[in-house]
Amino acid sequence: MMYTTFALALATVMTAGDSTLAPRTADDVVARMIARDGERQSVLKGYTAFRRYVLENQAHHRRAEMLVRMTCLDDGSKQFDVVCATGWGGARRYVFPRLLEAETEASRPGLRERSRITPENYTFQMVGKEYVRGRPAFVLAIEPKSENKYLTRGRIWVDTDEYAIIRVEGQPAKNPSFWVKSVHFVHDYDKSGSFWFPASDHSVTDVRIFGSTEMTIDYFDYTPKASPPAPHQDAALKSPR
């Protein structure tokens, strides 16, 4: 990673809180990202949240909304309960159910590793450094190692302080259908308590004949289930009265 001034590089190292050098390559950033994610996941024992889906095709004056309660279990698998759905009947009957089915399938323990942003699934290249919602982030280009429908070709933004992914932008590594000409999406994450969760999705899908359709997903009301903190060493050594 190239910094604009020596002073900035020195400040980054000094504020790291340890003797580890600031990351200089994409591999350094990814290694720290994987390590930090493992630390967070080790104490996160699932969570619940709500999602609001909005699907809109302006050319055909079609719009549909769906509110969903999502439960993520300890093993990472997800379950969805539809609270309500309104609007465009085709989206409510076909598009929304298939979206939930696809994510349920991708979240299963046997398949989840195939979609994670890890060196097993991607190659990484440092692009630079930018600010996302006021937070400095490393920008890395990601290239999938296989034409897996669960993978993405594009860029990720990694928070320089907590090494959490705060944005993913790109397109699927494999076109989902002949009828789909292109898909482009932006997936943002935000911090809730001690954890980073999806905050919003925005995608544009260009379908042959039907035209461009936009999808927006907002995520909110997260309730994490975390492991209780370990007792302080001094307290653990005290004899009971």
154-165 pLDDT, tens digit each: 999 999 999 999
pLDDT value of residue 185: 96
pLDDT value of residue 3: 36
Q: Residue 233 — pLDDT band, cuts 50, 70, 90?
A: very low
Q: Is the pLDDT of residue 10 over 60?
A: no
Positive or negative, the CA dihedral 72, 73, 78, 82 is negative
Percent of the chain with pLDDT over 70: 82
pLDDT value of residue 120: 96
Cα 54–chain centre separation? 19
CB distance 180 to 206 below 8 Å: yes
Give the span between the Cα atoms of 187 and 31, in whole angstroms.
22
Name the one residue in this structure whose structure tokens are 């990694």.
Answer: 158
Q: CA nearest 205: which of 76, 82, 55?
A: 55
pLDDT value of residue 201: 97
pLDDT in tens, 28-71: 999 999 999 999 999 999 999 999 999 999 989 999 999 999 99
| pLDDT, greater one: 87 or 21 | 87
Residue boundaries of the structural domains of the chain: 19-226
CATH topology of domain 19-226: outer membrane lipoprotein receptor (LolB), chain A (2.50.20)
Q: Is the pLDDT of residue 177 over 80?
A: no
In this structure, the chain runs to a length of: 241
Q: What is the dihedral of CA 110, 115, 120, 125, to 10 degrees?
A: -170
pLDDT in tens, 94-121: 999 999 999 999 999 888 888 899 999 9
Report, as an integer, the average pLDDT of 197-221. Answer: 92
Report CA-CA distances (Å) from 139 to 130, 154, 180, 235.
7, 11, 28, 43
Q: What is the DSSP letter of 167?
A: E
pLDDT value of residue 229: 54
DSSP lists the bridge partners of residue 189 as 198
